[in-house]
Copies of this chain bind each other. A is one copy, B any other.
Amino acid sequence: MDVGRPKGFDEEAAVAAAAELFARRSYDGTSVDDLVAQTGVHRGSLYKSFGSKRGLYLAALRHYVDRELGRAGDLQFLLLAAAERAAVDEEVASEVARAIELLDRAAGSEEATTLALGNKIRELGGGRGDS
C-alpha cells in the first residue's frame, strides 16, 4: 500500500492552525484564503482532506473540544461556535453540548461552568485592542 505521492503536510497541524483562526475570527470571518495562508496547505489539498470549509471547521472545533478545552481559560472558540453557528448547524450544536458536558465534569459543578461562560462574555466588552 501507500501508493501515490506522499502528503506534504501534517493534517493535524493544519487543523490546529485552522482552529486558531476560527477561534479568533469566527466562521464567516475566516475565508478559505485565510485558511490556506495560515495553514500553508494548498486549497485543493484542504478540500481533498476535509471536503469543504465547513468540514475543516468541524474538524477544528472537535480538535479544540478534545485537546484544548481543558487548557487555560480560553473559551473563545466555544463561545463563538455557540453564538454564531449552533443555531444554524446541528453538528456544531452537538459539539457545543459535548464541550459543555466536558466542562461541567471537569469543574465539578454546572454553576462553575455557567459562571465561566458568562464571565468570558463579560470580558469581551472590556479592555479592547482592535485586530
Contacts and interface: CB of A to CB of B under 8 A. Distances in A.
Interface of A: 24-26, 28-29, 76, 78-80, 82-84, 86-90, 93-94, 96-100, 111, 113-119, 121-122, 124-126, 128, 130-131
Contact of A93 (B96, B117, B125): B125
Contact of A118 (B25, B97, B117): B117
10 tightest A-B CB contacts, nearest first: A28-B28, A118-B118, A114-B118, A96-B125, A97-B125, A117-B118, A83-B83, A82-B124, A93-B128, A86-B124
Count chain B CB atoms within 10 A of each CB in A76, A79, A87 and give the residue with the most: A87
B113 A125 contact: no
Nearest to A100: B125
A119 B119 CA distance: 11
A90 B28 contact: no
B86 A83 contact: no
A122 B130 contact: no
Given A96-B124, A117-B122, A118-B113, A79 B83 contact: yes
